Structures are given as C-alpha cells and as structure tokens.
Amino acid sequence: MTVESRGHLNPGAPEVTLDRAPIGLDDLVRWVWTARWDVPPGRTVRQRVLQYPAFNLVTDPVTATLHGPRTGVDVRELAGRSWVVGVLLRPGATPLFTATAPAALRGTAEEVRGAPVAELTAAVAGGDPAATVRDWLAPLADRVTD
C-alpha cells in the first residue's frame, strides 16, 4: 500500500515511496512503515517528515534507533538507493525498548540494542518487512500491561 500523506510531506516525489501496514499487534504497534528511495547519482532529495506525537523504532541498513516525539518537521537528505523501516509504537510499548524515561527522549533518539537489523535488511530486499517486524515483536506483546 503506497501512502500519499500522514507524515509523508513529499507525496509524488518519484524517487521516494512510503508503504504502511498494520501488523496485528495492536497493543504494541499502530503500524509499520517502510520508506524506500532510489535517487540518481549526483542528486539528493530533501524529504520532509512530520512525526506523530509518539515513539518510532526506526531501522536502516546499519542501525536501529528509538526516536522520541518531536514537534515540527524533520528534513532528511536522501541520496543513492536505500530504505528505512519504522514502527510507530503505542505508548505502552516504549519501555520494552529502553530504560530511559519517556520524557527524557522527547525530541531526541537513542540506539536500540538487539534490533533485527540483519533480518530487516533481508526482509526489505524480499519485500515484506512488516511480517519480519511482526515476528520479531510478537514475543514482546505479552509483556505489555494495562
């Protein structure tokens, strides 16, 4: 499912696609989103992103990071061919990924240890990162309480 809005402020940019899918772990996750880009050599695309007031677990080919809520618009300079997979977390899921108090992460980010970077890399190449994220997070679902 290609998304034209909801945080993707450059809809129609031919070099960038954004897909979003629910994964059935509603206590943990609103949805998983995947951005892919393929920008010709020597060019960049300024991608504007408006974040939801929530935490996002974001994985790229190298690392995984937990991003706290931010106000305003972020801008990313995209070049070459790459991807990012994000998990829009429900509030109760944040403590599963960090011991840092949620208020301390407002407007900032921290690296997440043990995130499935290699598995997601393979899943993005294969076209189904949402299923990989669901399989990785499913064992954590029972740890979320009221």
Domain assignment present for residue 116? The answer is yes
Task: Look up the domain containing 62 and give its range.
Answer: 16-143
Query: Which amino acid is residue 127, in one-letter code?
Result: G
Domain assignment present for residue 48? The answer is yes
- List strand residue ranges (DSSP E) for the chain, in order: 16-21, 29-38, 45-50, 56-59, 64-67, 73-78, 81-89, 109-111
Residue 109 tokens read as: 């980010």
Tell me how long the chain is. 146
Q: What is the pLDDT along the chain (146 residues), one digit of tens a residue?
A: 443 445 554 556 788 888 889 999 988 999 998 888 999 999 998 888 777 788 999 988 888 889 999 887 888 899 999 989 989 998 888 888 889 998 999 989 998 877 667 777 777 777 788 888 888 888 888 887 77
Domain assignment present for residue 90? The answer is yes
The H-assigned helical ranges of the chain are 117-126, 129-137
pTM of the complete model: 0.82
Domain assignment present for residue 11? The answer is no
Determine the pLDDT at residue 78.
92
Domain assignment present for residue 2? The answer is no
Select from 143, 113, 126 the least CA-distant residue to 34.
126
Determine the pLDDT at residue 81.
95
Select from 33, 47, 39, 42 the least CA-distant residue to 81.
39
Per the structure, the count of domains in the chain is: 1
Cα 52 to Cα 130: distance, rounded to the nearest angstrom: 19
Determine the pLDDT at residue 11.
57
Domain assignment present for residue 83? The answer is yes
Determine the pLDDT at residue 12.
60
Domain assignment present for residue 10? The answer is no
Sign of CA dihedral 124, 128, 131, 135: negative
Diameter of the chain measured on Cα atoms: 50
Domain assignment present for residue 113? The answer is yes
